[in-house]
Amino acid sequence: MSVPHTALAELKAHLQTLTALSGAVGLLRWDQVTYMPPGGAEARSRQIATLTRLWQEHFTAPDMQRWLDVLVPYAETLPDDDDDAALIRYVAREYDRRRRLPTDFVAELSEHLSASRHVWGEARQTGDFAAVQPFLEKTLDLSRRMADYLGPYEHPMDPLIQQNDEGFDTATIRALFDDLRRGLIPLVRTIADAPRPNTTFLARTYDFDTQMTFLHDVLTDFGYDWQRGRHDLTAHPFAIRLSHGDVRITTRFTPDYLNAPLFPSMHESGHALYEQNVSPAYEGTPLARGAWSGMHESSSRLWENRVGRSRAFWMHYYPRFQQLFAEHLGNVSLDEFYAAINVVEPSLIRVTADEVTYNLHIMIRFELEVQLLEGTLRVADLPDAWNDMYEAYLGVRPPNHALGVLQDVHWYNATIGGRFQGYALGNIIGAQVFEAIQETHPDIEEQIAAGEFDTLRGWLTEHIYRHGRKYLPQDLIQRATGKPLSVEPLLRYLHTKFGELYGLSLPMP
Ligand code: ZN
């Protein structure tokens, strides 16, 4: 067994180098959108491109093949849940994937996407779909080519989904989404007919610094470790892991409505809590990250919505918040505030959508991606298809493409297919996880109402966070909740919460 041990030690040392490179790229990116002066932009792009290329070269180095030739058979001799076996399997899959994509193709895609993003940035201002159409046509072509390189597949979207939500495929997600849609559309219609809560007091400017002070205490209570993190302002919020000891979050500010930084910060803290609680034993390996996009979103959405938009949470925090913003909220009761921050409204824009309608925004994008990749929808017909689906699912029709098909950066930033499903998967997974927590800790809501989050974070760490990428998402969900993934917990949660809020008795689908 001495040969595998040497190969394993060499592989781990190599992975340390790769981790250092990606940490450095992460820091350059973080700085690029927080504090970098505009004059640094050009050199910064080159620095990031150079380090990314070095990472790619190191990852696909000939030694990797040599180590994996020894280690893949060795991993089969180890117990199934052995950490080294999980690491070897993970690296072998990733290596195979990277090796399948020709260097010329990767360069062509990256060049095309940076041109696309630029054109999209301007087209979005004017709602000019014709300007992006040829770029999207090429992106679609490149997306199909990527699927072919990564194949074989049942559906061309499968390999693209695999890159962000490993283990999931188009058929599985479609089945989940079909079930969810059947439950959601009647719920949205019933709520739309009910009286709308008053939200006028939200449409004010809530001072940024005061919100950040409040959030500092909330995030501390959640268990965010400030010795290993920080909280800064950006245009598009994100969480980023630079190392086990450095997991940062950013937030944005909406001046005329109470949304940001409050809810985006809670959302990003959910991503950061995941990363801060991955086992330190995995540091320096690719297992030291949250388990793909849907699992990650399950954590961020759980902390943002299940906690941060719950009545229990605000029972504890509202008196202080009301005092901090006495001029806006002095006469607003807890229940009025709770109803307002949970208002359900079929709308045109995904990023500001409520908990009930949000998933429908995702399903529209997912279904359009499927049709584009299958070739049953042409890019030229995408805007009409988009508008028709908004009308069918949400009962609203975009008056222009800026408020419609041009609103998201995703199709200008990466392939068409594989990116959007993670958001809705996150809601589905998060609801199932929370039900499992309630079964073990029936008093979890009371703990939240007391500003106590140790049990919640502790359960998540024990069952999900600490494992990093050791298990594939569906395996992790089965282990954590004892059940395969299903949409029923999410439908139960939404029917209960919004049935109470809107005074409706809603039959479960
Ligand atoms: Zn997120």
DSSP of 12-29, one letter per residue?
HHHHHHHHHHHHHHHHHH
pLDDT at 505: 78
- Rounded average pLDDT over 62-83: 96
- Rounded average pLDDT over 450-467: 98
Reported confidence tier of residue 103, pLDDT bands at 50, 70, 90: confident
Judged against a pLDDT cut of 80, whether residue 187 lies above it is answered with: yes
Task: Determine the distance from the C-alpha atom of residue 86 to the mean position of all C-alpha atoms in its chain, rounded to a whole number.
Answer: 23
- Rounded average pLDDT over 60-81: 95
CA count, 13 A, side-chain hemisphere, 240: 23
Judged against a pLDDT cut of 70, whether residue 88 lies above it is answered with: yes
Alpha-carbon span 231 to 314, nearest angstrom: 22
Q: How far is the CA of 168 from the centre of ligand 1 (A)?
A: 19
Percentage of the chain lying above the pLDDT 90 cut: 95
Judged against a pLDDT cut of 70, whether residue 181 lies above it is answered with: yes
**202 CB-near residues (< 8 Å, 6+ apart):** 257, 258, 259, 340, 341
In our burial notation (b when 16+ CB lie closer than 10 A, e otherwise), range 357-392 reads bbbbbbbbbbbbbbebbeeebebeebbebbbebbee
Task: Determine the distance from the C-alpha atom of residue 452 to the mean position of all C-alpha atoms in its chain, rounded to a whole number.
Answer: 25
Judged against a pLDDT cut of 80, whether residue 83 lies above it is answered with: yes
pLDDT at 395: 93
Judged against a pLDDT cut of 80, whether residue 3 lies above it is answered with: no
Which run of H or E residues covers position 342?
A: none
Q: How far is the CA of 74 from the centre of ligand 1 (A)?
A: 37
Q: How far is the CA of 305 from the centre of ligand 1 (A)?
A: 12
The pairing of strands 239-243 and 246-251 is: antiparallel
pLDDT at 506: 73
Judged against a pLDDT cut of 70, whether residue 305 lies above it is answered with: yes
pLDDT at 509: 61
Q: How far is the CA of 39 from the centre of ligand 1 (A)?
A: 30
- The catalytic residues are 268
* Mean pLDDT score across all residues of the chain: 96
- Rounded average pLDDT over 131-156: 97
Judged against a pLDDT cut of 70, whether residue 1 lies above it is answered with: no
pTM: 0.96
Which run of H or E residues covers position 240?
A: strand 239-243
Judged against a pLDDT cut of 60, whether residue 360 lies above it is answered with: yes
pLDDT at 428: 98
